[in-house]
Amino acid sequence: MAIGIWTEKYRPETLDDVVGQKNIVDKLKAFIKEKSLPHCLFTGSAGIGKTTSAIALAKDLYGANWKQNFMETNASDERGIDVVRNKIKNFARVKPLGSEFKIIFLDECDALTPPAQQALRRTMEKYTATTRFILSCNYSSKIIPPIQSRCAIFRFGPIPDKDIIKRLEHIAKEESVKIKDDGMDALLTVSSGDMRQATNLLQSVSITSKSIGKDEVYTVAASMRPEEVKKILALALEKKFLDARKILAELMLERGLSGIDVIKAFHKEILDAPIEEKQKAELIDKLGEYEFRIVEGGSEDLQIEAFLAQISAL
């Protein structure tokens, strides 16, 4: 079974089924009740319901005709000005079926080039009478101000653990999979509020085991366990830099961890480390600096080692 099948299979059908985003869902339902919708900008991290909410909105608004009045395109795949001038504009020109307007959902629109965003702005202006745009992005700061000013902005937050647990338990029951308590804790730790990642990870683990514990989860996820991070932190804080470096290097090589994976793992554990708050603040500050360096193309191994050196220097 291809990974991601469960994500689509158990995708909420209506806005009432969307979990963890009650305030946003309530506002969208109010728009449906009034049979009106502004241009919208959905922003937030991955896997927290932006695409699902857009599709559920279309289903609730149009009913059986939702596919004829809804177009989804991914801007990270089609990010140039041509897709705006041709594909999007051609769909916007067509008269909506049984409704006053149709919806164009542009996913990952922060990947659009600046010229494409300018062309999109003009398209939004020209076809406002018959078309509404829902733009989805991870970083709203990458969207030009003229587009932001034309949209109602909805900021999606991470999905609460209780909602993820409820959803995963439902999926496990339907798929005849048993999730142990420590397995559920591991799924929550690895996914960090990302429902899509939690669902995909559950599916991946279920392929090898129908009884899911923390060992199975961390093996498949290829991520660092909290106890491993704590051990490395403890060694670094005890000035045992070379020992901490050796263990971390072996883990990165064994599991194929990226520098960003390691940064995220450390971020979760630093706040609970047995050090003063001032030192925690200094480490978080450095952690952000090294994450930026890695994202900008710095050597992952060197930046992670530099961070360990910063810990040892406390």
What's the rounded mean pLDDT across residues 244-263? Answer: 85
Confidence band of 54 (pLDDT split at 50, 70, 90): very high
pLDDT digits (tens, 9 = 90+) for 203-218: 988 888 888 888 888 8
What's the rounded mean pLDDT across residues 72-101? Answer: 71
Domain ranges of the chain: 21-155, 161-221, 226-312
Phi/psi at 35 (nearest 5 deg)?
55, 35
d(CA 238, CA 240): 5
Confidence band of 136 (pLDDT split at 50, 70, 90): very high
Fold of 161-221: Helicase, Ruva Protein; domain 3 (1.10.8)
Burial status of residue 98 (CB atoms within 10 A of its CB: 0-12, 13-18, 19 or more): exposed
**Whole-number mean pLDDT of the chain?**
86
Residue 42 β-bridge partners? 136, 154
What's the rounded mean pLDDT across residues 276-302? Answer: 87
What's the rounded mean pLDDT across residues 69-75? Answer: 81
pLDDT digits (tens, 9 = 90+) for 137-186: 988 888 999 999 999 999 998 899 999 999 999 999 999 989 999 889 98
Confidence band of 28 (pLDDT split at 50, 70, 90): very high
Specify the pTM.
0.80
Which are the contacts of 254, defined by CB distance < 8 A and separation ≥ 6?
none
Least confident of 72-81, 205-214, 218-227, 247-256: 72-81
Q: Which of 233, 296, 231 is nearest to 259 (CA)?
A: 296
pLDDT at 46 over 90: no
Q: Which of 189, 29, 46, 197 is nearest to 110 (CA)?
A: 46
Fold of 226-312: Zinc Finger, Delta Prime; domain 3 (1.20.272)
The CA angle 192-140-195, to the nearest 5 degrees, is: 25
Output the six-digit token pair for 10: 């158990």
* CATH topology agreement for domains 21-155 and 226-312: no
Q: Give the sign of the dihedral formed by CA 71, CA 75, CA 76, CA 79.
A: positive
Instruction: Provide the 3-class DSSP secondary structure of residue 136.
Output: strand
Whole-number pLDDT of residue 42: 94
pLDDT at 26 over 90: yes
Which are the contacts of 115, defined by CB distance < 8 A and separation ≥ 6?
81
> In terms of pLDDT, which residue wins out, 50 or 256?
50
Burial status of residue 93 (CB atoms within 10 A of its CB: 0-12, 13-18, 19 or more): exposed
Fold of 21-155: Rossmann fold (3.40.50)
pLDDT at 60 over 80: yes
d(CA 42, CA 60): 18
